[in-house]
């Protein structure tokens, strides 16, 4: 039974793949027939052949008897090969048409007749080309005749369904589409309302991670174990985001999806990337560990390894040993999730949490939450039976719930799903859930199934950008606009609708919104397994176990150089690559054998260290998607401009590539050029009529460079426009011709002039140019940099644009703006009116020549006529580098409301500002005040009692802090730095949530005795550059949670208490000592600190005193946990004592304020030196 079911599933998948291929080729044939000359009849015959086969496939999909025939299986494979060959022939024809069209355009632009070179060759002679194409099409017809004979021989030719019925399956029908437009995007297992029945699991795991393991020094591992789809990842994610975990580990958390690629160097690199937000591309393991040490030494960290399969105990021991070298505090934990019960034993997990399925009641609650809004009585009985088949697996319940919800509560369809034989499918190691396969089978068209299957090209847990996914589908020919479609749609619109269907069925899950508004998706690992399963006959991922290496593959994905070497040894002949339509390398240094894959549609060469693109790339004339991102490329060959079919060119983070190819205008099919750094381009950009994604572009003053008026010809632009070097725009008229106000699909606009340029008459030009570059009213993101005009144009001052230059054009407010940045506008003397923008969330203003922030900043209307309600959605406000700003005014009405939702406020480098007003910002949590040397009052502190972080630096005039500081019961971090006249501090005993305190004031002489009273949550204390401070309050001993204590450059001995027994959690200590005696007593006290890993000493003034400090190393040798030594020195010191070489446990030596460090070159006893 099980075996026959698997055979049936396999045949269904094969038939669906063939159907999707037929629909794609029919679409191509219809397009080419309209353009063909000389062999149109042959193409029409070919199209009819495909329509006939399509009808056969529809019948074949319904006939179980035919599906069980191996002859049918072989016939299907032969048919697909012929179909691909036919598609290649039509593509070759289309390529030649594009080439000839470009030749004709160039001939006209040259202004004289160009004689055809090599007129008797097949590539340039019209007659020979017609003959050659006609022969190829006839060859295809002949092959179809053979297939027809074979079909009759195996009994497939007798049944044909109505063509209209077949064509109706071509794509999403109208009902499906309307439902998609009204959809609410599903996001897998909802982490709030949809998360059911895991409270006990959560409590037990939190207790182990934060309590039981708190003082364990052996880097314990905990494991969540259970079958696929139970919610192991969802539970681990809830733990990762849990407030107790955040409090316990802070920001020292890393999440890695491991899957089957358990490579220690890769895992450590990903840790570096997660902790630093920089791409971890180090290959040297020691170098990676040094980076990790910088981030994690002396800290507790939480590492989650998701979806682990490794059973090799030696690899686990090696990982644990590597992480021990990082120097994290005891209590650091690794949490793993796995389906394999052997993994926790191999990892030596000290706690194994077996995750069970949901109870029947919990399962039904989850199903109801997913499917029903109100009444469930009429379908409850059948619904419960279906839910029981899901066996308590949340993913299965969610997926089947989405499917049943789409059936509009039809009892007949629910019963069909309940009785489906797919519920009886066996589940192997990859555990393809029956509910997933059921949902896949019910996708409304073969094309949609084909799009889902292609998602297997992405690695597990990969964040998938929606725009790139759709571009990949388009490159493969998966997206076609139905001939019956009445709306004006693009292929990208069709791709958007497909994404909606996949979201609704939980085959995709929405990830966070990317900067600029780009949607990103993820796939559950079991859904990814399904994609690999259904694409297994066409897609080979070299590192996926269980895949046959000898299949008739069309798509190839490499994950390591070893994979490539194996392939070349298995298939050394170039002809074996010609069937491939996709080759993907990512993070794999590849050789250029892919040049022989002549029929490629997609080539991905991301992060392959590619420095030079071979000129022979022009041979890949069928290529539509080329991704060269994250490579040190310095120049693209001109031959790349012969890829006339190219639709997408990826050049993300190609920092060394200054310009785009000179003949880019020939690539008229280009739709997307993806860059992150500005590049120069040649004239002709206006020829790219299909362009939707504009690269980050820079203008130049050369006659060969592109000009901004060319944008006016690009009517399909959408997403983001980013233009640099706008000083090269000649005048207002040229800016007007860019017609940015007509690009209603552009949502993000960045306009930048060069910084530090000459300002002669350029300011007036900036004003004119910006006036001509007004955007469409629908824009959500606007950023201006280095604008040197004295005033903004009227559209920006009022945030209102005219959408048409024609008479009667209506002004529209930029009400959709959520982000606004006006940076380095150093000549502007007035601020625009911005308070009326209803959805503005982030506002950043810098370098204005403004003296007053007045009422006009909030509202253009007379405030006397009514209350002012301004910045109602603003969450972040940054005001920076206003050198002449003296006054900041807010509306004075009692019922005025300004910034009620503000969460973060930064005011910095405003040396003349006298006061910051009390905004209406009870929601404010982060306040940063920096270099405000004239500030006399802190009125804003009177109302911001919800602050969690307060940073104050460079307040030259303030002598005391406001008494309201005592009300900040939620404050977690307080920085008081560079206060020249601050002589005392108030008591902080009411700040029970305070975790970090930093104090730096030259004038400070006294700290109140009760300063630290009650601060039991304080974990970090830094006091420095307080030369006149007399003593540290004895209430410091109440800070029993301290992990970091730095008191230095304070000119006093005995700043640290002699009894340190209450600071047993202390791991990081820096102190001043001005005598050998005080140092000795201090070192003896340090033996009370079992977790001490970092020690810093300041106080020695010359080499003799330094030598005396380290003449007796015995006290240092007793500090068994010490890993890092910091020496804060003086310029006169030219050497270090030899005795330091005895500290063999030390792995890091930091040297601060040593003028000449050349002597360090001979100190071989230092394992690792970081010199500062």
pLDDT digits (tens, 9 = 90+) for 1107-1161: 777 777 888 888 888 888 888 766 566 677 777 777 777 877 777 766 655 555 4
Q: What mean pLDDT is predicted for residues 386-406?
A: 87
Classify strands 1044-1048 and 1020-1024 as parallel, antiparallel or unpaired: parallel
Cα–Cα distance between 479 and 24 in angstroms, integer?
8
Burial profile 368-381: b = 16 or more Cβ within 10 angstroms, e = fewer: ebbbbeeebeebee
Residue 665 domain flag: no
Cα–Cα distance between 1044 and 1023 in angstroms, integer?
11
Q: Supply the CATH number for residue 416's domain.
A: 1.10.8
Burial profile 840-852: b = 16 or more Cβ within 10 angstroms, e = fewer: bbbbbbbbbebeb
> Tokens 């009204």 sit at which residue?
182
Q: What is the per-residue pLDDT for 1164? A: 47
Asked whether residue 348 falls in the same domain as residue 405, the answer is no
Position 695 pLDDT exceeds 90: yes
Residue 458 domain flag: no
Among 423, 443, 463, the domain-final residue is 443
> Tokens 């009405």 sit at which residue?
893
Asked whether residue 350 falls in the same domain as residue 367, the answer is no
Phi, psi of 687 (to 5 degrees): -75, -15
Asked whether residue 36 falls in the same domain as residue 165, the answer is yes
Q: What mean pLDDT is predicted for residues 427-442?
A: 75
- 470-527: pLDDT as tens digits: 999 999 999 988 766 667 888 999 999 999 999 988 899 888 655 556 789 999 888 9
C-alpha angle with apex 550: 547 to 552, nearest 5 degrees? 95
Structural tokens at position 1: 């039974």
Cα–Cα distance between 927 and 907 in angstroms, integer?
8
Q: What is the per-residue pLDDT for 1168? A: 45
613: enclosing H helix or E strand: none
Q: What mean pLDDT is predicted for residues 775-793?
A: 94
Classify strands 781-785 and 819-823 as parallel, antiparallel or unpaired: parallel
Share of the chain above pLDDT 90, in %: 33
1068: enclosing H helix or E strand: strand 1068-1072
Cα–Cα distance between 552 and 21 in angstroms, integer?
15
> Tokens 């260290």 sit at which residue?
609
Cα–Cα distance between 339 and 428 in angstroms, integer?
12
- 154-209: pLDDT as tens digits: 777 544 433 433 333 334 443 444 334 333 333 333 444 446 778 889 999 998 88
Q: What mean pLDDT is predicted for residues 145-150?
A: 85
C-alpha angle with apex 201: 198 to 205, nearest 5 degrees? 140
Q: What is the per-residue pLDDT for 1157? A: 56
Measured between alpha carbons, how far is residue 112 from residues 107, 108, 170 in Å? 7, 7, 48
Residue 189 domain flag: no
Q: What is the per-residue pLDDT for 1166? A: 47
Q: What mean pLDDT is predicted for residues 10-26?
A: 71
Q: Supply the CATH number for residue 1079's domain.
A: 3.80.10
Residue 438 domain flag: yes
Cα–Cα distance between 487 and 705 in angstroms, integer?
38
Cα–Cα distance between 1172 and 1152 in angstroms, integer?
5
Position 879 pLDDT exceeds 80: yes
Structural tokens at position 130: 């017609």
Asked whether residue 742 falls in the same domain as residue 788, the answer is yes
Cα–Cα distance between 327 and 337 in angstroms, integer?
24
Burial of residue 236 (CB within 10 Å: 0-12, 13-18, 19+) is buried
Asked whether residue 363 falls in the same domain as residue 274, the answer is no
Cα–Cα distance between 513 and 500 in angstroms, integer?
16
Task: Write out the residue range of the structural domain in which residue 429 sits.
Answer: 358-443
Higher pLDDT residue, 648 or 938? 648
Q: What mean pLDDT is predicted for residues 90-95?
A: 88
Structural tokens at position 688: 């790219």
SS3 label, residue 116: coil
Query: Measured in whole angstroms, how far is the alpha carbon of residue 106 from the centre of its chain?
Result: 41
- 739-774: pLDDT as tens digits: 999 999 999 999 999 988 876 555 568 999 999 999
Q: At what angle do helices 2-35 and 70-110 cross, to 10 degrees?
A: 30
Query: Measured in whole angstroms, how far is the alpha carbon of residue 451 from the centre of its chain?
Result: 22
Please name the residues in contact with 460: beta carbons below 8 A apart, sequence gap of 6 or more.
Answer: 257, 259, 307, 523, 525, 528
SS3 label, residue 698: strand
Burial of residue 123 (CB within 10 Å: 0-12, 13-18, 19+) is exposed
Position 830 pLDDT exceeds 80: yes
Q: At what angle do helices 525-534 and 434-441 cross, to 10 degrees?
A: 60
Higher pLDDT residue, 842 or 120? 842
Higher pLDDT residue, 239 or 1101? 239
Q: Supply the CATH number for residue 246's domain.
A: 3.40.50.300
Asked whether residue 346 falls in the same domain as residue 203, the answer is yes
Among 399, 420, 443, the domain-final residue is 443
* Lowest mean pLDDT across 191-205, 323-337, 454-468, 582-596: 191-205
Asked whether residue 155 falls in the same domain as residue 224, the answer is no
* Lowest mean pLDDT across 93-102, 132-141, 798-807, 904-913: 798-807
Asked whether residue 24 falls in the same domain as residue 123, the answer is yes
Burial of residue 1025 (CB within 10 Å: 0-12, 13-18, 19+) is middle
Residue 477 domain flag: no
Asked whether residue 41 falls in the same domain as residue 142, the answer is yes
- 37-89: pLDDT as tens digits: 556 777 778 878 777 777 777 666 555 555 556 788 788 888 888 888 888 98
910: enclosing H helix or E strand: none
Residue 889 domain flag: no
Range with top average pLDDT, 128-132, 297-301, 347-351? 347-351
Asked whether residue 1053 falls in the same domain as residue 1152, the answer is yes
Q: What mean pLDDT is predicted for residues 32-36?
A: 58
Among 427, 443, 459, the domain-final residue is 443
Phi, psi of 604 (to 5 degrees): -110, 120
912: enclosing H helix or E strand: none
- Pick from 417, 465, 424, 421: which is nearest to 629 by CA? 465
Higher pLDDT residue, 1132 or 586? 586
- 1047-1071: pLDDT as tens digits: 988 877 678 888 888 898 888 999 8
Q: Report the mean per-residue pLDDT for the chain.
A: 82
Q: What is the per-residue pLDDT for 543? A: 57
Residue 694 domain flag: no
Determine how many CB atoms are found less than 10 A away from the CB of residue 286: 11
SS3 label, residue 556: strand
Residue 892 domain flag: no
Cα–Cα distance between 300 and 658 in angstroms, integer?
43
Contact between residue 1128 and residue 1097 where contact means Cβ atoms under 8 Å apart: yes
- 709-723: pLDDT as tens digits: 999 999 999 999 999
pLDDT band of 447, cuts 50, 70, 90: confident
Q: What mean pLDDT is predicted for residues 945-952?
A: 91
Position 893 pLDDT exceeds 90: no
Classify strands 800-802 and 811-813 as parallel, antiparallel or unpaired: antiparallel
* Lowest mean pLDDT across 371-375, 580-584, 798-802: 371-375
Cα–Cα distance between 136 and 126 in angstroms, integer?
16
Q: What is the per-residue pLDDT for 180? A: 40
How many domains, in total, are found in the chain? 5
Measured between alpha carbons, how far is residue 445 from residues 184, 448, 907 in Å? 21, 5, 56
Burial profile 726-759: b = 16 or more Cβ within 10 angstroms, e = fewer: bbbbeebebbbebbbbbbeebbbbbbbbbeeeee
Q: What is the per-residue pLDDT for 120? A: 36
Burial of residue 513 (CB within 10 Å: 0-12, 13-18, 19+) is exposed
Q: What mean pLDDT is predicted for residues 1075-1087?
A: 81
DSSP string, 299-362: S--EEEEEEE----HHHHHHHHHHHHTTTPPTT-EEEEEES-THHHHHTT-SEEEEPPPPPHHH
Q: What is the per-residue pLDDT for 162? A: 38
Determine how many CB atoms are found less than 10 A away from the CB of residue 200: 8
Burial profile 595-619: b = 16 or more Cβ within 10 angstroms, e = fewer: bbbbbbbbbbbbbbebeebeeebbb
Cα–Cα distance between 1026 and 1004 in angstroms, integer?
6
Q: What is the per-residue pLDDT for 622? A: 96
Asked whether residue 211 falls in the same domain as residue 326, the answer is yes
Asked whether residue 344 falls in the same domain as residue 410, the answer is no
Q: What is the per-residue pLDDT for 1055? A: 80
3-state secondary structure 505-550: CCCCEECCCCCCCCCEEECCHHHHHHHHHHCCCCEEECCCCCCCCC
- 914-947: pLDDT as tens digits: 888 888 878 899 999 999 988 877 778 878 888 9
Higher pLDDT residue, 808 or 23? 23
DSSP string, 172-190: --HHHHHHHHT-----SS-
Partnered with residue 1046 across adjacent β-strands are 1022, 1070
């Amino acid at each position: 039974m099980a075996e026959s079911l698997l055979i049936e599933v396999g045949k269904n998948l094969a038939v669906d793949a063939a159907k999707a291929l037929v629909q794609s080729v029919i679409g191509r044939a219809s397009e080419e027939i309209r353009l063909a000359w000389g062999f149109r009849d042959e193409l029409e015959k070919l199209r009819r052949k495909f329509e006939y086969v399509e009808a056969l496939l529809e019948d074949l999909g319904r006939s179980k008897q035919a599906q069980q025939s191996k002859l049918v299986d072989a016939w299907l494979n032969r048919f697909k090969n012929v179909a691909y060959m036919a598609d290649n022939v039509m593509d070759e024809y289309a390529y030649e048409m594009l080439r000839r069209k470009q030749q004709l355009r160039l001939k006209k632009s040259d202004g004289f007749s160009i004689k055809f070179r090599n007129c008797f060759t097949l590539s340039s002679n019209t007659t020979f080309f017609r003959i050659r194409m006609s022969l190829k099409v006839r060859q295809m017809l002949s092959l179809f005749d053979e297939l027809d004979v074979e079909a009759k021989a195996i009994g497939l030719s007798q049944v044909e369904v109505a063509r209209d019925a077949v064509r109706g399956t071509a794509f999403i029908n109208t009902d499906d589409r309307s439902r998609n437009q009204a959809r609410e995007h599903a996001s897998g297992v909802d982490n709030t309302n949809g998360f059911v029945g895991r409270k006990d699991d959560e409590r037990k795991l939190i207790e182990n991670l934060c309590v039981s393991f708190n003082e364990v020094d052996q880097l314990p591992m905990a494991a969540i174990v259970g079958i696929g789809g139970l919610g192991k990842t969802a539970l681990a994610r809830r733990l990762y985001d849990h407030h107790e975990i955040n409090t316990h580990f802070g920001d020292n958390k890393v999440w890695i999806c491991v899957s089957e690629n358990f490579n220690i160097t890769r895992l450590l690199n990903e840790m570096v990337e997660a902790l630093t937000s920089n791409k971890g591309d180090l290959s040297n393991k020691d170098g990676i560990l040094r980076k990790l040490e910088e981030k994690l030494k002396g800290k507790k960290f939480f590492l989650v390894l998701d979806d682990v399969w490794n059973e090799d105990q030696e690899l686990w021991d090696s990982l644990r040993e590597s992480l021990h070298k990082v120097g994290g505090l005891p209590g650091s934990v690794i949490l793993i999730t796995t389906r394999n019960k052997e993994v926790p034993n191999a990892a030596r997990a000290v706690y194994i949490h077996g995750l069970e399925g949901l109870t029947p009641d919990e399962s039904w609650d989850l199903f109801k939450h997913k499917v029903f809004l109100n009444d469930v009585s009429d379908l409850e009985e059948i619904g419960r039976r279906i839910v029981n088949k899901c066996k308590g697996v949340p993913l299965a319940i969610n997926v089947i719930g989405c499917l049943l919800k789409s059936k509009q509560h039809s009892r007949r369809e629910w019963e069909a799903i309940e009785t489906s034989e797919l519920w009886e499918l066996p589940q192997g190691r990859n555990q393809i859930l029956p509910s997933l396969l059921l949902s896949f089978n019910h996708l409304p068209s073969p094309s949609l199934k084909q799009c889902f299957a292609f998602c297997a090209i992405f690695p597990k847990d990969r964040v998938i950008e929606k725009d790139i996914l759709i571009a990949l589908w388009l490159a493969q020919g998966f997206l076609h606009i139905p001939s019956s479609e009445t709306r004006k749609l693009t292929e990208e619109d069709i791709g958007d609708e497909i994404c909606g269907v996949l979201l609704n069925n939980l085959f995709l899950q929405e990830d966070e919104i990317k900067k600029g508004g780009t949607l990103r998706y993820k796939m559950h690992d079991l859904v990814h397994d399904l994609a690999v399963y259904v694409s297994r006959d066409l897609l080979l991922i070299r590192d996926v176990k269980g895949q046959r290496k000898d299949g008739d593959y069309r798509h190839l994905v490499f994950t390591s150089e070893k994979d490539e070497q194996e392939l070349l040894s298995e298939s050394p002949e170039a002809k074996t690559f010609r069937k491939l339509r996709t080759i993907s390398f990512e993070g794999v240094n590849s050789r250029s054998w892919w040049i022989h894959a002549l029929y490629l549609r997609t080539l991905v060469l991301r992060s392959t260290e590619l420095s030079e693109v071979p000129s022979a790339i022009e041979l890949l004339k069928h290529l539509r998607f080329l991704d060269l991102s994250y490579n040190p490329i310095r120049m693209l060959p001109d031959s790349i401009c012969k890829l006339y079919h190219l639709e997408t060119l990826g050049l993300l983070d190609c920092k060394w590539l200054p310009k785009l190819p000179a003949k880019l205008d020939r690539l008229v099919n280009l739709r997307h050029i993806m860059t992150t750094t500005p590049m120069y381009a040649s004239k002709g950009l206006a020829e790219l009529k299909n362009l939707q994604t504009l690269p980050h572009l820079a203008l130049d003053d050369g006659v060969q460079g592109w000009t901004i008026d060319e944008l006016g010809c690009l009517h399909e632009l959408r997403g983001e426009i980013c233009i640099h070097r706008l000083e090269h725009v000649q005048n207002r008229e040229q800016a007007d011709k860019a017609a940015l106000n007509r690009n209603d699909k552009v949502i993000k606009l960045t306009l930048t002039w060069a910084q530090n340029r000459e300002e002669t008459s350029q300011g007036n030009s900036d004003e004119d140019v910006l006036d001509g570059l007004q955007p469409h009213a629908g824009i959500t993101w606007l950023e201006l940099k280095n604008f040197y005009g004295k005033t903004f144009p009227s559209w920006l001052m009022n945030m209102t644009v005219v959408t048409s230059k024609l008479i009667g054009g209506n002004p529209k407010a930029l009400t959709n703006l959520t982000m606004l940045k006006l940076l380095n506008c150093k000549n502007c003397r007035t601020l625009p009116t911005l308070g009326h923008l209803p959805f503005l969330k982030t506002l950043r203003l810098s370098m204005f020549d403004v003296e007053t922030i007045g009422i006009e900043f909030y509202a253009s209307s007379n405030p006397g006529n009514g209350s002012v309600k301004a910045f109602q959605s603003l969450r972040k406000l940054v005001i920076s580098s206003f050198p002449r700003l003296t006054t900041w005014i807010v509306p004075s009405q009692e019922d005025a409301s300004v910034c009620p939702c503000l969460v973060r406020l930064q005011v910095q480098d405003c040396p003349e500002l006298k006061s910051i007003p009390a905004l209406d910002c009870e929601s404010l949590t982060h306040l940063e005040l920096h270099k405000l040397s004239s500030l006399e009052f802190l009125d804003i502190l009177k109302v911001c009692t919800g602050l969690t972080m307060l940073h104050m630096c460079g307040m030259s005039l303030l002598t005391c802090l406001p008494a309201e500081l005592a009300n900040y019961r939620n404050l977690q971090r307080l920085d008081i730095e560079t206060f020249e006249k601050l002589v005392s501090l108030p008591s902080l005993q009411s700040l029970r949530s305070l975790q970090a305190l930093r104090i730096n004031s030259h004038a400070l002489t006294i700290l109140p005795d009760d300063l630290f009273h009650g601060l039991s949550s304080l974990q970090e204390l830094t006091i420095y550059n307080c030369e006149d401070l007399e003593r540290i309050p004895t209430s410091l001993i109440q800070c029993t949670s301290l992990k970091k204590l730095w008191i230095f450059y304070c000119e006093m001995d005995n700043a640290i208490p002699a009894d340190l027994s209450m600071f047993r959690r202390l791991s990081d200590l820096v102190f001043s000592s001005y005598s050998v005696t005080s140092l000795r007593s201090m070192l003896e006290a340090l033996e009370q600190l079992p977790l001490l890993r970092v020690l810093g000493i300041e106080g020695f003034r010359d080499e003799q005193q330094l030598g005396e400090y380290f003449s007796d190393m015995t006290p240092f040798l007793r500090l068994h946990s010490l890993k890092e030594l910091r020496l804060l020195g003086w310029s006169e010191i030219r050497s270090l004592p030899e005795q330091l070489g005895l500290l063999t446990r030390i792995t890091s030596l930091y040297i601060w304020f040593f003028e000449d460090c050349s002597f360090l070159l001979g100190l071989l006893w230092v394992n690792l030196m970081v010199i500062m």
